[in-house]
Structure 1
Amino acid sequence: MIKILVVEDTASKAGKVAKLLDSITGCSYEIASDLVTARKFLQDHFNIMILDLHLPERFSEVAIESKGFDFVLEIRKTRRLKMPDHILGLTEHTEVHLKYKSIFDENLINLVQYDPGSISWESKIRTKIEELQQSSIGLPSVNTQRYDIAFVNALRSPELDAVLELDYQWQKKKIPNDSANYFEGKIELPSYGTLNVVATHLPQMGMVATATSTMKIIEHFRPKFVIMTGICGGVEGKVNLGDVVISDMSFDLESGKIVVDPEGKQGFEPDYRVIPINSSLKEAFIDLATDDKILARIKSNWKGNKISGELNLHVGPVGSGAAVISNKDYIENKIKHQRKLIAIDMESYAISYCCEYCTKPQPIPILIKSVSDYANPDKGDNMQKYCATMSAWTADYIIRNILTFD
């Protein structure tokens, strides 16, 4: 089904366009009579926008010649409006058509001359719709929507489940030719309007699976931020069980060279390639870590098994490895090479790496975990649901109060 948005303030012209679209099978349409209404419709994605050039900001106001093209530029600049796949300019005024034809051509936008006594304009619109319908047959769907946030979680339960419990109006979303499970939602913010959110989980644990899933969600949804929440192993003595950890730099624990000394003893020389967090966000997260009232408020909503102690937040290095760690000596050895290390997991470095080296526009990674164990043989599952929930709730606070989306 081809979705079409008609932005037209003249009732007779809008009626003729609607009559044309009614005669074409396989398409649906909405009509906006002013730019305020058009912006509301463009919270969702449309395949085609048929756009008048003379438009009013509000229906009761005077239409201005430049408003149509200005609206195209506005859509391209802001993430809050979804750019349609194709735009067709439609003007009845010959002088306006001549004035803007070259400008529209330079921006790869078709400008059609509307004449109520001719069917030429109808033929051009019909041809464009039919071409789009034909081109979509048998081809994978490319999602041209720009999302604000993408959650990538290692485990469906309890990590993704904790994210899906956030009040984001979640719905399942399928991408053709992709077996991954996606969920899309919306967040209403008074200062920004509607944020578009998507979430997924890995097919299995590990950095290879993380990189694959992260690259797919970036290419499908083009988010501004990629957020990973969930559980991690903490460095005992630096963090407490249940504490939230935000990575200010991530690295691969296994990056380096295996060496043998003259006595034949095998050793490891690390060569860590560190990826730091956005510096402005780091300062904001450090400020949040000192706000005991906010952290207490986040924890106060927990209704599960009683967890003693306060909720603390730490900002520091997180190392990622290829296996689940349950060896205290392993952690102590890594601390020798990265003394500020506060936590380990199997995913964070892959998230950061994908965000840094994917195609533009590159999203900003935010890695928020909660300590469910100390990466030693005493691992247990009794903290996992609580930790997954605390990391998700902390992410929700950050989205609503720290991140910017213009």
Structure 2
Amino acid sequence: MRVLIVDDENGKVVEIAGVLEESGVGRDNIVVVTTAAAALKELRNTYFDLLIIDMFLPHRIGEAPNLTGGEELLKRIHRGADVAPPEYIFGLTANADAMEHSRGVFADHSWHLEEVSPTKTGWKLKLMEKVRYLRAREEFTAADAAGSTEVKLPRCDLLIVCALQDPELSEFFRAANSTWEVVTYSGDPHLYRRSELSLGNARISAMALCLPQMGLVSAGVSVAKALALFRPLVVAMPGICAGRRGDCDLGDAIGANLTWDYGSGKFTEMGGEVVFEAAPFQAAASAKVVAILTELASDVELIEEIYRESPGYRPSEMPSFHIGPMASGAAVQNHKEFFTGVASQQRKILGIDMEAFAVAWASHEALEPQPHWLIIKSVVDFADGTKDSKIQRFGSYFSAKLILKAVARLFNGGADTQPRSTH
């Protein structure tokens, strides 16, 4: 595949090219220009699969960058019969005004527009996923033309699912302390990581997946597909959540023994007022998982060891590990009365997030044999408007370590969770 980069900031171009090469695009297939006019000339002469464009761009050499430089180029591409439109356009800018100015154009065409800064690096994963998807399509099309589209997929013992690339997945990788290979499969837009983990006496083949976006729908679809492809024995989700104030402290971990969609139900009118009548279907963790969670929660020495060895910031008090219900919903909650309302659905509720129920339900509905699902998340806020960004990285690492300990116990006991590599 061929990629055209239109950007006049050399440092950013180097970063973009690095992501492209890591995604399998050869240097000979990457063209870089610095102005809108030069880009238009390239697009007249060559077809590009992907256009990566800075929206704060000079029209011509010698001119200063301006807010309309990138947008005018996009309009010219669409209205000109002399230009071959790229299959996909990916916008990147370090200019906040240009970002806001161009947001509507990108939204109208369902393209990515990402802000670039020293603290905002999520664009790299999204760009990598898009490149991998385009390359997978290219490979699939070539195989189809040759009359062979058979795709061989590996089985794995463990599927790790994270909602956020950073800090959840990045801290899981740190906690696992192993080498992860980026892998893709023809026809599948997702980016996966593959590794072999040594946990206790077990050698475990693992795949890791970061969701394309937060929420129940994204989690349900992505996990269901991964389960069908890789047929794991265990699905595990570390990460961060909101906890119920008074029952949890910041930094505490919650192992979910029960989960449901707290938005499931109906709105009805009663006495002239609209009332929500909840009708949740609850998914329960397996007895084997609950037993292991119970063991971990009582292992104070282990919890203290993880706490003491956690890198960077950590709370002043050693966190606790709770076992209890965790509800999921499609929207971020940020008001102090939330837990009061949702507690009517399950009075022992400890935490809420946006994905746990979808992961559990996808596992429940998977092809036989259904995998065990294991969800441990750390409390980083109370869904009441209070925030402490420092705790998020600690919470992601703490939950990841607990997940790894739980997985080790799952795979070192029981016939239904014997790693396939030992068969």
Report the TM-score range of the alignment, normalised by the length of the smaller protein: 0.5 to 0.7
Alpha-carbon distance in structure 1 between the residues aligned to 2:195 and 2:392: 24
Map 1:1-12 onto structure 2 (within 5 A). Answer: none
Deviation of 1:175 (Å): 1.3
Map 1:13-32 onto structure 2 (within 5 A). Answer: none
Report Cα offsets for 1:228-257 as digits up to 9, x if no partner: 110000010111110111100000000112
1:181 matched to 2:176? The reply is: no
**What is the aligned partner in structure 1 of residue 6 from structure 2?**
none
Map 1:165-314 onto structure 2 (within 5 A). Answer: 165=174, 166-189=176-199, 191-192=201-202, 194-262=203-271, 264-314=272-322
**What is the aligned partner in structure 1 of residue 326 from structure 2?**
318
* Structure 1: gaps spanning 5 or more residues: 1-132
Q: Is the Cα–Cα contact under 8 Å of residues 372 and 387 in structure 1 kept in the other structure?
A: yes
> Could you say if the C-alpha distance between residues 190 and 387 of structure 1 is closer, same or farther in structure 2, counting changes exceeding 3 Å?
closer
Q: What is the count of residue pairs matched by the alignment?
A: 271
Map 1:130-141 onto structure 2 (within 5 A). Answer: 137-139=147-149, 141=151
1:339 matched to 2:347? The reply is: yes
**What is the aligned partner in structure 2 of residue 391 from structure 1?**
399
Q: Is the Cα–Cα contact under 8 Å of residues 326 and 379 in structure 1 kept in the other structure?
A: no
Alpha-carbon distance in structure 1 between the residues aligned to 2:315 and 2:356: 26
Task: Report the secondary structure of 1:336's partner residue.
Answer: coil
1:362 matched to 2:370? The reply is: yes
**What is the aligned partner in structure 1 of residue 171 from structure 2?**
162
* Structure 2: gaps spanning 5 or more residues: 1-142, 419-423
Q: Which amino acid aligns with 2:208?
A: A
> Could you say if the C-alpha distance between residues 189 and 341 of structure 1 is closer, same or farther in structure 2, counting changes exceeding 3 Å?
closer
By percentage of residues, which structure has more helix? 2
Deviation of 1:180 (Å): 1.3
Report Cα offsets for 1:328-350 as digits up to 9, x if no partner: 21221111231100000000000
TM-score, L = length of structure 1: 0.64
Q: Which amino acid aligns with 1:392?
A: A
Q: Which amino acid aligns with 2:382?
A: Y
Say which one has the larger Rg: 1
Q: Is the Cα–Cα contact under 8 Å of residues 155 and 230 in structure 2 kept in the other structure?
A: yes
Q: Is the Cα–Cα contact under 8 Å of residues 142 and 220 in structure 1 kept in the other structure?
A: no
Percent sequence identity over aligned pairs: 28
Report Cα offsets for 1:108-131 as digits up to 9, x if no partner: xxxxxxxxxxxxxxxxxxxxxxxx
Deviation of 1:134 (Å): 9.8
> Could you say if the C-alpha distance between residues 243 and 137 of structure 1 is closer, same or farther in structure 2, counting changes exceeding 3 Å?
farther
Q: Which amino acid aligns with 2:387?
A: K
Task: Report the secondary structure of 1:159's partner residue.
Answer: helix
Alpha-carbon distance in structure 2 between the residues aligned to 1:136 and 1:208: 36
Alpha-carbon distance in structure 2 between the residues aligned to 1:363 and 1:229: 16
Task: Report the secondary structure of 1:305's partner residue.
Answer: coil
Alpha-carbon distance in structure 2 between the residues aligned to 1:203 and 1:140: 26
Task: Report the secondary structure of 2:390's partner residue.
Answer: coil
Alpha-carbon distance in structure 1 between the residues aligned to 2:403 and 2:385: 29
Report Cα offsets for 1:39-87 as digits up to 9, x if no partner: xxxxxxxxxxxxxxxxxxxxxxxxxxxxxxxxxxxxxxxxxxxxxxxxx
> Could you say if the C-alpha distance between residues 402 and 298 of structure 1 is closer, same or farther in structure 2, counting changes exceeding 3 Å?
farther
Task: Report the secondary structure of 1:354's partner residue.
Answer: helix
Alpha-carbon distance in structure 1 between the residues aligned to 2:306 and 2:390: 20
Q: Is the Cα–Cα contact under 8 Å of residues 185 and 196 in structure 1 kept in the other structure?
A: yes
Alpha-carbon distance in structure 1 between the residues aligned to 2:358 and 2:156: 21
